[in-house]
Amino acid sequence: MNAVTQARLQVLVGTVAFLGFDQATKWLVNESLLPGDRFRLIPGIFQLTLTYNTGAAFSLLNKNQEFLIGLSGVILLLLLIYLFTRISFRHGEVLSLALLLGGTLGNLTDRILTKHVTDFFDVVCIHYPIFNMADIFILFGALGICVSHFRSTKTVS
């Protein structure tokens, strides 16, 4: 197996792992809290608050599930095209792609199965929108791709 094929396999395995972790955390929160319940971890700073988001980030496009499912599908398709047309990968791209794919699939799974995304991380000290593991994966995956393209010339080929 050549290095590029191995890198692609690592992305796919990582994707499944991140998707599984995202779905497990959402299941755990859904089993432990009722919508609107709060579980204070660091009073005044951070808590778990179960909410169901029918929109995208910051509740944008609220109640437009069909559009958001389609958009997620297009993003997934573009990420898979990127993954399978690369002839080499920069340092950090494999992990970043797995994070992006796992996070996108995590929220897409919610949208398809429940018509909403389960959010629960609540940073109350800055009044930031409530988010989930998939959102974290997407953020760090996107940042990782950017960093890998601007900082790294090393590749796996």
Sign of the CA dihedral 130, 136, 142, 148? positive
Residue type, 151: R
Whether 122 sits among the annotated catalytic residues: the reply is no
Phi and psi at 45, nearest 5°, equal -125, -55
Token code pair at residue 105: 């699939």
Whether 119 sits among the annotated catalytic residues: the reply is yes
Catalytic, out of 22, 110, 122, 135: 135
Alpha-carbon distance of 84 to 60, in angstroms, equals 31
Helix, coil or strand: residue 3:
helix
Catalytic, out of 22, 110, 119, 122: 119
- The catalytic residue positions are 119, 135
